[in-house]
Amino acid sequence: MLYPTLYDFEWKSYYGNTNEDGFFCVHNRKKLEDLGCKFAPLEVAKHFSKEHEIPENVGLKTFAFHQVDI
């Protein structure tokens, strides 16, 4: 969690959003992977949390959720 500060990542809005999920996992994923961070594969991650339903997580009861009808 220190990498964005240590490596001076620019915190900015992407498509009108400033949430940390998109900042870390989408927009800066390549940078973080290049620094050695690992992300869970979809088959593991789909059981943790979801924001929108996708074919892989339909009907799953996840640990966390964002803005999704459950």
> Which tens digit of pLDDT belongs to each residue from 37-60?
999 999 998 988 887 888 998 988
Asked if 53 and 68 sit in the same domain, the reply is yes
pLDDT in tens, 22-33: 888 888 899 999
Asked if 35 and 46 sit in the same domain, the reply is no
Asked if 33 and 51 sit in the same domain, the reply is no
Asked if 50 and 19 sit in the same domain, the reply is no
Asked if 35 and 5 sit in the same domain, the reply is yes
Positive or negative, the Cα torsion across 24, 56, 42, 68? positive
- Average pLDDT over the chain reads 84
Asked if 30 and 6 sit in the same domain, the reply is yes
Confidence of residue 67 (pLDDT cuts 50, 70, 90): low
The answer to whether the pTM exceeds 0.75 is no
Asked if 22 and 11 sit in the same domain, the reply is yes
